[in-house]
Amino acid sequence: MNQDTGILIICIVACFHQASSETRVTGYIGQSVILKSGVDPSWKLERVQWSIYTNTTYIAIFENGKVETRSSRYKGRLSLNESSGDLEIKELKADDGMRYTVSLLSTTYKQQDNHISLTVLEQLRKPDIVVLYETLVKEDCIIALKCSSSKNNNILSWTPANESSLPFVSGKISSNVSELWMHFTPNRKVTFTCTATDGQRSASEQITVQCQEETLKTTPQPGCPTVMPAPCERYCHGIVASLVLLAFVIAIASFKGETDTLSTPLLWGARRRTHVLR
- Output DSSP code: residue 236: H
Q: Are residues 86 and 160 located together in one domain of the fold?
A: no
The answer to whether residue 254 scores a pLDDT higher than 80 is no
Q: What is the pLDDT of residue 145?
A: 96
The CATH number of residue 234's host domain is: 2.60.40.10
67, 58 contact by CB (below 8 A): no
Beta strands in 74-219 (DSSP E): 78-80, 87-89, 99-106, 111-121, 128-137, 140-148, 155-160, 168-174, 177-184, 190-197, 202-209
pLDDT tens digit string along 200-219?
Answer: 788 999 999 988 765 444 44
**Per residue, what are the HEC states of 3-29?**
HHHHHHHHHHHHHHHHHHCCEEEEEEC
261 inside domain: no
Shared domain check, 135 and 114: no
Same domain, 180 and 136: yes
The mean pLDDT value for 131-144 works out to: 88
Q: How far are the Cα atoms of 49, 102, 106, 166, 239 from residue 145, in angstroms, in the given order?
A: 53, 51, 60, 15, 20
Question: Which run of H or of E encompasses 245?
Answer: helix 230-254
> What is the C-alpha separation between 69 and 157, in angstroms, rounded?
44
Same domain for 214 and 102? no
Predicted confidence band of residue 1 (pLDDT cuts 50, 70, 90): very low
Q: Same domain, yes or no, for 174 and 68?
A: no
Mean pLDDT calculated for residue range 28-54: 95
On whether residue 270 sits in a domain, the answer given is no
149 lies in some domain: yes
Domain count, the chain: 2
In-domain check, residue 271:
no
Is 48 a domain residue? yes
Contacts of 103 by beta carbon, 8 Å cutoff, 6+ apart: 47, 48, 49, 51, 111, 112, 113
CA-CA distance, 205 to 195, in Å (whole number)? 7
Same domain, 138 and 235: yes
From 89, 105, 121, the end of a domain falls on 121
Question: Based on the domain organization, do 135 and 250 belong to the same domain?
Answer: yes
- Is the model more confident about 4 or about 119? 119
Q: Which domain holds residue 208?
A: 128-254
Dihedral in degrees, nearest 10, Cα atoms 12, 18, 21, 27:
-120
**Cβ(247)–Cβ(171) below 8 Å:** no
Residue type, 69: T
Q: Are residues 247 and 142 in the same domain?
A: yes
- Span 7-16, pLDDT tens digits: 444 444 444 3
| Residue 219 domain flag | yes
Q: Both 112 and 135 in a single domain?
A: no
Same domain for 33 and 109, yes or no, is yes
On the question of pLDDT at 184 being above 70, the answer is: yes
Please report whether residue 277 resides in a domain.
Answer: no
Q: Across 53-57, 87-91, 199-203, 229-233, which has the greatest mean pLDDT?
A: 87-91
pLDDT (0 to 100) of residue 261: 40
Q: In this structure, are 245 and 163 located in the same domain?
A: yes
pLDDT at position 165 is 73
Domain boundary among 99, 121, 143: 121
| Domain final position from 102, 121, 140 | 121
DSSP 8-state secondary structure symbol assigned to residue 152 = T
Residue 16 lies in a domain: no
> Is the domain of 107 the same as that of 136?
no
Min mean pLDDT across 88-102, 125-139, 199-213 is at 199-213
- Percent of the chain's residues with pLDDT above 90: 50
